[in-house]
Structure 1
Amino acid sequence: MEILPAIDLKDGFAVRLSKGDMNTAKIYSKNPSDLAKKFEDFGAKWLHIVDLDGAFKGMAVNFKVIEEIAKSTNLKIEVGGGIRDENDIKKYQNLGVKRFILGSTALNDIELTKNLAKVYKIAVGIDARDGFVAVQGWADVSKISALELARIYKDSDVDAIICTDISKDGMLSGVNSEFAKNIALKSGKKTIASGGVKDINDIINLQKIDEIYGVIIGKAYYEGHINLQEVFKLIEI
């Protein structure tokens, strides 16, 4: 199973939110590239980056910070937050970013998303509040269910689905593995669970679910609830 440490960017700093609320932002690092290098030293292969400011504004805001991270590590990076079209993707691709997360675009322009997935490694971000897809930095909740959006991408070239139960995100209350499994079954895509990882037991339990390809770890690391070096050793066994 793939383990993806997370760096969420706000005003150039690495932060974590609770339930996606920007007012709850807590700064964990003022030098995100140093943080990324630490993850690499721990044994990470992938890094999950979200431009939180970009998600709200619909455009890249923390591009320079992401560029610095890309230059300073050999990590495979996936980026989300504010990616709206092919030009945005190309800018990140030029930095060496490997996978591009579409959230709002994946909901609002399904045809564009499917076409982009034929050319680029696209991950569809399905973030759910009470079972329905939330977009624009989770500020707006649509009338489309998360499972329905997953089904729409079943026969597409989309590389992965990243699913988040917003009620769990940043709460250290345990990942919603059932939600992630159902998304995987509906989409037929490799599915990455996000939101709520509490401790290493969550990782052990997720490993037992064949349908789940990976998991994103954020606040559990930042708050000292999980030792990433132990996690990567566990995955190697």
Structure 2
Amino acid sequence: MINKLLSTAIKFYLRSQVTKAEDLQVKIVGKNRQILQGYIPQVLLCCNRAVYQGLFLRQIEIHGININFNLPEVLKKKPFKLLEPIIVDIKLGLDAADLQASLDSPLLQSGLSDLWQIILAAQLTDARTEKIVDSVIEWHSIAIASETLNLRGTYQDTTGKVREINLSTGIGLTNDHTLDLSPLKITSESVSSELGEQLEIELGTDVAIEQLVIESEQMLCSGKITINS
């Protein structure tokens, strides 16, 4: 009874966090005595075709341990909440169509904007890039190739004319907290520039990527993340 009630509460909590989730499954591992104290030793969940804040994900698998939660409130049919941060193992899979569909996501747009500023900072020694340093890029497409992401967008030059720009970059791991972008190439009507050195992106201590595979038409990622609430 308690497992069924809790599974339902977790499913309700997860569905409140996503716009869409198909085939959502939750498995709770623990004794009734532990769960009745507000403690779950293990929880496993998986779902297909999830949409989280505009990000389209083909498949998600999550394994969490040592979870303390608000049992008294759950028993009153209130939302499930974590009482302290947990570290979970997570596996994500998405394909080219998912990535293109995610392009309007505020999370992805923010990430691409931050990436563009980092790239420009690394490229400032190249005078040719000065023409687009202050430009806002509107990204229209993103495609997956073997170990490479290709983006196409537009920007306004200093005369107000709309120009096309293309960004191509390989993606690897320097360590579990750092992405390595190399080789990285920018081309447009006025610019053709390639960054010869590695460009590293720090992901922060809440993320630890163990595997990142980018193949034609799909991307697979596994690692650990810290969930604070």
More strand by share: 2
- TM (norm. structure 1) is 0.24
Report which of the two structures shows the higher radius of gyration computed on alpha carbons: 2
More helix by share: 1
- TM (norm. structure 2) is 0.24
Q: Which has the higher contact order (CA 8 A, sep 6+)?
A: 1
